[in-house]
Each structure stands twice: as structure tokens, then as C-alpha cells.
Amino acid sequence: MSDFSIVQFNIQIGDDLTHNVKPLLHEIKHGLDKLVETGQTSIIDLRSIPLAPGEEDKILSMLGQGEVQAQLNALGLSEVTETQYAGVWIVTHYNDENHIISRFIEVTTMPEILCSQTEDIMAAYSRLTVSLEDNV
Amino acid sequence: MTNNSNKEKTLGEVMRSRGVSRRSFLKFCAATASMMAMSPAMIPKIAHALESARRPSVIWLSFQECTGCTESLTRAHTATIESLIFDSISLDYHHTLQAASGHAAEEAREAAMNENWGKYILVVDGSIPTDNPGYSTIAGISNLDMFMQTAAGAAAIISVGTCAAYGGIPHADPNPTGAYSVYDVIKKFSNNQLDGISSATLAKAGEGSVVSKPIISVPGCPPIPVVITGVLTHFLTFGTIPELDHLGRPKAFYGQSIHDRCYRRPFYDKGLFAETFDDEGAKKGWCLYKLGCKGPTTYNACATTKWNDGTSFPIESGHPCLGCSEPDFWDGGGFYKALSMPTENITQTAIYTAAGAAAVGVALGAMNKSKKNNAVAAHNKTTIDDLEK
Ligand code: SF4
Ligand code: SF4
């Protein structure tokens, strides 16, 4: 390696720099309450909140991993994971080059993007029909 | 570049014909909402609007510029998403990106203008020289003529980059070419302060009532790529121009200052500043105000949207904000000189911060009077010495 030294910022994961971490976790708690009481889902765009280096990781590590992990292949990879708190999901979209393009916390029973979409089902029906006709 | 058969199709149809699934489309809309700083609740609305949107014709004119804005756009990190946005417009003229050149290219521009008169979007990067038409020409046409003629038939004009938005570096003191922004050129035109426009252009400009065109400014040196595509997508999605601030910038991206969204803000509020680039404060990630940070007076999306695949932004790399999305940032008196004093409304700052008035007192105290006077006195041209300080 080269001999110059790289300045390391002395910001620890434990430092609550922007004071945004706790309110965000409370927001999620309210989201769960709403989901149970009224069935209303909520989405938080993690990119819309000012976070210091390490704070996003802190949020993710506090939410932890739950029972479901799914990968989608739609215009690049997407990861959908249920956190250790049932009903709280992390949806991360990547582009072709595996860079994160957006990340959401969804409070829902099932993120919409996991469901088969009506338009795709209709296209699938036509494709299957054609392929059966071709193979008769 | 232009694909006529695709022009009549809606964006939804174009995407489906390219084998893009509905699920992928939803992902595209989610990323779009995120980049346009819109509430995730807007995702279904964006999906619905984009599904049925028709591809608008876009004419992109580059004048006195360094091509940094086009570089920024084409290096956009969301490769797939950006290319979908690109596919969803009909980019009929962009002399850096198109294969055609010279008269053939100009014919393509005129054809696109005639075909879509009153409906196309005109994107401009670079400032327009007004002193002498010969300073910058394309296929023998002066920038001023080309701009006025093309602007006449546009539905809206997007000034991409600080040069088109405010005049930028070509406009910097002593402005040798008489360079002006899109907005200023149109203002001068309406005040009869422009010479050197051909009579054909004058007729066209009058016919298209150039003076009443909506202008959206997307400043930055360069602007953040997703901000450029975000504005195009907004037009595509809603068929309207986004809400603008007093400088004509979309509020979604320029609504808050770098300082308001800076993760070093708690240090500013506590009066903890780096004094040099390698002192303890710098290593601890303290506020860069005293190193010349223009974050408090700069409105842009860097602090949340970030740069280079969303990796970081200048302040996160330890460098103060230069204020590149503000008018005359180049003549601001030195990138490494502290702003004369905290520019925020103090009561507002006190409300904003948990630490409150005491912290603001510390910040203000830190900028003592003599320093303030020095900083004000130094508001002239940047010298090599300034840059090396
Ligand atoms: S002065 Fe600059 S570094 Fe300090 S908090 Fe404001 S934007 Fe961040
Ligand atoms: S941090 Fe400041 S100087 Fe840098 S790109 Fe953003 S607005 Fe421009």
C-alpha cells in the first residue's frame, strides 16, 4: 500500500450525532400501532433523512433480522427483509452495478413489490398460452 | 437518437415492449420518488402518471460550458433507472452526445422544433456570451441566435448547471465575453438591451413570445445527476413544472440549505470547529465553518442525495462546501475564508437546535468582530494564495 496515512474520522456507531435515530425508531413504533389498529401501512424513505456516517447501520442493526429474506431480480437486485420486529421490513433497491439506489423501511404485512403484479400475471397468461400452442 | 415509432407510445408501453415487468416499473417509481424527495405515498401516483405519459421531445443546447454537467448526468449512478428516464424522453438534439454534426445536426434540431413547436423542453447548459456573437458559435450560428430561436418554441426551459442558471464561471469577474444566464438573457431581451441578434431570430422570438417561457434553474457545478433527471421526470410525470424558489430552483431539491441537513450540524451548534485541515477538530469530524464552509448560505441536496453512487458529499470527505449552487460563488471572496458571520436567522437557529441560544452564542462568539471585518473586506477576487491557504 502507499505510505500516506488516511485521516479516520473518529465517529463511533454509538454516537447519536444527528438525533434522528431515536425519533425514527419511534415513528416505526407508531407505524406498527397503526398497522394493527387500522391496517394502514407506512413507508419511510431512509434517503430523505439526514444521517451521519454509521447512523443508517445503527438503525439497521437495531432492527435486526427476522424470519423472511427475499431477493428480487428486477432492474438489478432488490432485497426485502423482515426485521426482528414482525411487520417492519427493509426494502433495498440496487442498480445493475450493485449500488444502493434507494432504501425504505416499510411497516406492512407484505411489501407490495413482493406480490405478483396483475399486469405481469396477464402477460404471463399470454406467454403460457402461446407456448402451449407452439408445443402442441 | 430519435426513434419515431416510439414517439407515439406511452412510457408504460415503451417499457413493456422492452420487457420491463410491472414489478421493475414499481421499483423504478420507488427510486424516482426517493430521488425527487417526494413522500413514498406518492409512489402509486407516479406509477399511474408515468404509465400513461407520452415521451416529450427534448432539445439540449450547450453554450459556454465545460461539459461537466453532461458528464455528471451520464455518470449518474442509477444506471438502469437513468437510462429508463433517458428512454422515456426523445432527446432530439444534444451536440455532445449525438453522432450527427454540423449542418445535419442543425437540420435535426430544426425538424424537432417544427414538429413539436410549443411542446418541447429546452435544456441549456453553459452561459450565453452577449458581447460579440463570434465568441461562441455552433455550425456558424451564434449562441445567442440559437438560444433565442430554440427558446421561442419551447414549452419550458431548464437551465442545467450554474453557468446556465446564473452565468457561472464565464460570468465571473471580469466576465470577458459578456456571459449571462438564460434568465438574464431573456430579461435583457425584454428590456431591449441585447445587440447582435439576427432579424430572423427576432421574428421567431416574438412569434414564440420568448419572454413568457417558464424557466427552471438546476444550478450546481455540476448539478447532482438525479436532480437533473428528477426535474425531467417531474415534467414527464405531472406535465407541469415543479414548485420553484425565488431563484427559480425546484424546492424539492433546493428547499433546504446544506447546513440544515448537514450531519456536522450538532458540532456547529456546540461551537466545535475544525481550525485547520489536520487538527484534532478535523480528525473528530467537527464543523468546517471556519475553514470556509458555505453550507449555511447554500441551497442544494448534497447532504442527503450525496455524490458518487450516494457514497458521500464534500463535507463528509472533510472539505467545506464551496457554495456552487448559489449565484456568483466563484467571486465570493475565497473558498477557504469563513463566511462573515452565521447568516441564519438566529431565533430560527435557536428553535432548530436542541442546544438552543447558548450554542448560537458560542458560534457567534467564535466569529469575533475583527475576523468578521476581515472577511467582509476580503470579499473580492479569489487569488492563487487564497486557494493555497
Ligand atoms: S457550516 Fe458547513 S460543516 Fe458546519 S454544519 Fe454547516 S454545512 Fe456542516
Ligand atoms: S457541497 Fe456545496 S460546493 Fe459541493 S457540490 Fe454541494 S453545493 Fe456544491
Query: What's the whole-number average pLDDT of chain B?
Result: 80
Average pLDDT in the B229-238 region? 81
- Chain B residues whose CB is inside 8 A of the A17 CB are 263, 266
H or E segment and range at residue B361:
helix B357-366
Instruction: Look at B72 and B135; give whichever has higher pLDDT.
Output: B135
pLDDT tens, position by position, A68-120: 999 999 888 999 999 999 999 999 998 777 878 889 999 999 999 999 999 88
For cell 470527505, what's the residue?
A: B317
Q: Which of A21-30, B138-147, B350-359 has the lowest mean pLDDT?
A: B350-359
Please state the φ and ψ torsions of residue B150, each to the nearest 5 degrees: -75, -35
Torsion of CA B176, B182, B186, B192, to 10 degrees: 0
Question: Residue B32's pLDDT is what?
Answer: 79
B325 lines ligand 2 (CB under 6 A): yes
Cβ neighbours of residue B182 under 8 Å, at least 6 residues apart? B124, B128, B147, B151, B157, B159, B164, B165, B215, B217
Which pLDDT band, with edges at 50, 70 and 90, does B240 fall under?
A: confident
User: Pick from B261, B285, B309: which is nearest to A10 by CB?
Assistant: B285
Q: How far is the CA of B113 from the centre of ligand 1 (A)?
A: 45
pLDDT at residue A67 is higher than 90: yes
Cβ neighbours of residue B201 under 8 Å, at least 6 residues apart? B144, B145, B148, B149
Average pLDDT in the B346-365 region? 32
Alpha-carbon distance of B38 to B32, in angstroms, equals: 8
B137-138 and B179-180 strand pairing:
unpaired
Q: What percent of chain B has pLDDT over 90?
A: 41
Alpha-carbon distance of A77 to B79, in angstroms, equals: 13
Atom number, ligand 2, closest to the C-alpha of residue B321: 2
Is the minimum CB–CB distance between B52 and chain A shorter than 8 Å? no
Which pLDDT band, with edges at 50, 70 and 90, does B3 fall under?
A: very low
- Chain A residues whose CB is inside 8 A of the B252 CB are none
Q: Are B98 and B111 in contact (CB under 8 A)?
A: no
State how far Cα B330 lies from the chain centre: 16
Which pLDDT band, with edges at 50, 70 and 90, does B81 fall under?
A: low
Show me where the domains of chain B are located. Answer: 4-254, 258-331, 352-379
Please state the φ and ψ torsions of residue B91, each to the nearest 5 degrees: -80, 95
Which pLDDT band, with edges at 50, 70 and 90, does B87 fall under?
A: low
Q: Do B283 and A75 touch (CB under 8 A)?
A: no
Is the minimum CB–CB distance between B45 and chain A shorter than 8 Å? no
Chosen CATH of A3-134 out of 3.40.50.2020, 3.40.109.10, 3.30.1370.140, 3.30.70.260: 3.30.1370.140
> Which residue owns the Cα nearest ligand 2 atom 2?
B321
Instruction: Look at B284 and B345; give whichever has higher pLDDT.
Output: B284
pLDDT at residue B128 is higher than 70: yes
**Which residue in B has a C-alpha nearest to residue A124's C-alpha?**
B21
pLDDT at residue B281 is higher than 60: yes
Alpha-carbon distance of B122 to B157, in angstroms, equals: 5
Which pLDDT band, with edges at 50, 70 and 90, does B218 fall under?
A: very high
B287 lines ligand 1 (CB under 6 A): yes
User: What ipTM was estimated for this complex?
Assistant: 0.80
The C-alpha cell that represents B247 in the structure block? 431563484
Count other C-beta atoms under 10 Å from residue B276's C-beta: 10
B258 lines ligand 1 (CB under 6 A): yes
pLDDT at residue B346 is higher than 50: no
The C-alpha cell that represents B69 in the structure block? 454537467
B164 lines ligand 2 (CB under 6 A): no
CA of B315, closest CA in chain A: separation in Å? 11
Is the minimum CB–CB distance between A17 and chain B shorter than 8 Å? yes
- Chain A residues whose CB is inside 8 A of the B261 CB are 50
Alpha-carbon distance of B344 to B268, in angstroms, equals: 12
Q: Do B285 and A123 touch (CB under 8 A)?
A: no
Instruction: Look at B207 and B154; give whichever has higher pLDDT.
Output: B154
Alpha-carbon distance of B218 to B221, in angstroms, equals: 10
pLDDT at residue B267 is higher than 80: yes
Question: Residues 280-339, chain B: which have Cβ within 8 Å of A?
Answer: 282-285, 303-305, 309-310, 312, 316, 318
- Chain B residues whose CB is inside 8 A of the A23 CB are none
B288 lines ligand 1 (CB under 6 A): yes
Which pLDDT band, with edges at 50, 70 and 90, does B373 fall under?
A: very low
State how far Cα B309 lies from the chain centre: 18
A88-94 and A77-82 strand pairing:
antiparallel
Architecture label for domain B4-254: 3-Layer(aba) Sandwich (3.40)
pLDDT at residue B371 is higher than 60: no
- Chain B residues whose CB is inside 8 A of the A51 CB are 263
Please state, in angstroms and as integers, the Cα–Cα distance from residue A21 to each residue in A105, B159, B252, following that order: 13, 37, 23
Question: Residue B16's pLDDT is what?
Answer: 77
Prediction pTM value: 0.74
Instruction: Look at B15 and A6; give whichever has higher pLDDT.
Output: B15
User: Pick from A47, A75, A97: which is nearest to B24 by CB?
Assistant: A75
Q: Are B129 and B122 in contact (CB under 8 A)?
A: no
Cβ neighbours of residue B164 under 8 Å, at least 6 residues apart? B63, B65, B124, B125, B126, B127, B181, B182, B217
Protein fold of B258-331: Cytochrome-c3 Hydrogenase; Chain A, domain 2 (4.10.480)
Q: Do domains B4-254 and B258-331 have the same CATH topology?
A: no
Q: Are B324 and B254 in contact (CB under 8 A)?
A: no
